[in-house]
Structure 1
Amino acid sequence: MTLSRESAPSATPSTSADLEDVVRVGGALADAMNSVIEGKPDVVLTAITALLAEGHLLIEDVPGVGKTMLAKTLARSIDLSVRRVQFTPDLLPSDITGVSIYNQERHDFEFRPGAVFANVVVGDEINRASPKAQSALLECMEESQVTVDGHTYELPHPFMIMATQNPVEMEGTYPLPEAQRDRFMARLSMGYPTAAAEVAMLDHHGASSPIDRLRPVTDAAGIGHLSHAVRTVHASPAVRQYIVDIAAMTRTSSLIRLGASPRATLHLLRASRSRAALAGRDHVLPDDVQAIAPVVLAHRLLLSSEAQLARREPLEIVTELVRRTRVPAAR
């Protein structure tokens, strides 16, 4: 039986030196990204949290607030292979996964890798592709592999998809199915910048783009080392039960038609571990779970008709449910 990353036994627990590396490199990544993304330190922290937790990121907001810039900035800050896919209605699944082409010299088929064969895949306007093209991402997002013509090809490690979409303009778009939304560890909304941040943006971005001046602060091996340290951060039985209790609240609330999946609880645990490691701790606190739960859970929920009529937002509902869930007592 093949064990998942979460269920596989950990080789060695993280040491204080490993956690120091997480804090140091995570801080350097944050500094690099904050030099480009003005006035959004919380958004930058969540993006780094998802990266170290080996999750995928969905960036959803109105046009022009820096969704693609955030994805490109994170990719540029790390010395990794990066591919960008512009999702359009005529995009084919083979453009994403790859295709087998007959080689006349060898008299055999050879595989030509598609756009997902990179460490970081930036998918711009993912909801503009057809459902057929969107479904090409399901296997690679969950299993880090691609199957074409009966052959399975492993994707490079680390592997992360950062997708953007515009939730306002619905014409010519195809909403992501629940199965695909559930594969994204977190969903971010950029929001409009503050007045001071927008003035700073005009100053820094007016003549040239600061992203061109970015230099990588780590590489694929470095991210792999940090991700291993994150996986071994201790989560006590009480904290694990707390995560399950929060997920159960989403499944029993009258405001929610479809609650958080078991995959969501795994993502919440991994993201909480990542947040704890970035804070320099070798154990997860309920505070870590509370801080990251809304962005991990909200995009997976389907609201009831009553909640929709009342114009409730999933993020607001998750925040309320987390507040109502009993916090484990300190020992």
Structure 2
Amino acid sequence: MRNIILSRGTASDIERQVNKVLRGLGNPEPPLRLDDVRELLSLDRRYYSTTDDSPLRETISKLTVAGAQIMKRPGLILDAVRKLDLRALYLPDRKRILLDSAQPDAKQRWNEAHEIGHSILPWHEDLMLGDHEQTLTPGCHQQIEAEANYAAGQLLFLQSRFGTAANDSAPGLDAVRALKSAFGNTYTTTFWRFIEDSHRDVPMIGLIGQHPRFPIANQPEFRHIIESPAYKALFESLPTDRLAQAIRTYCEYRKRGPLGAGEVNLTDRRGEAHVFLFETFSNTYDCLTMGTYQRPYARVVGL
């Protein structure tokens, strides 16, 4: 799945809502404490698991605003959690966030911030509680999820604080690793944020997926492809097999840690070739590859 770049107007609306929260917390230092955010917003947090869904059932039994459809068919939420493999959800009428207790703490932090994102965007409440046909379309669902992700990133990375810190270092996985520790977030979310929101004039592409040397049958090479605004402006989206082939030219068979780096030529929208530095890191369950623009490709013409 390729990342969605929000319109400037939508991004600005989200940034204003997040800024209210951060100002209410006194513009805290990183890492952000989500307990403080929940207290400020009067949000309740509970946990559930696929083996114990009693928190979900209790919540469903007390729904008062979500409409007759939920009350008459309480299995809707339970079915959604199980079939869609949901890791978290937000129920606006209870101001309650439900998190999957089976997820690692670092992932729960992002999941919780994502649901807080839903809670602070006023137009999401209407979409989540409503019964409009619009809310059922895949395009609408992807849009509101992208908006909640953007809000989560703005929160966890303290808006411009992250961009300032990221721009003080050269683009690359070393910078991502340092910022991960500083802001207390996962490698993956820091990686994503770095590509989308730093070095705005540098084309960058990020790939998250399986190990190129140990592919798993019947699974896509990449779960996510993140293209920076500068990349989207100048380059076409490449097919995944082309990207996977480029990574395999330098990638080692090691299961964990740095897997190598190499220069890869990519062609822009005008048909001109450019050199990117690709580097790949494995955290055992995902491989993260960052491609950073280096220079125009100079052909060597024989004498």
Question: TM-score, normalized by length of structure 2?
Answer: 0.29
Question: TM-score, normalized by length of structure 1?
Answer: 0.27
Larger RCO (alpha carbons 8 Å, 6+ apart) = 1
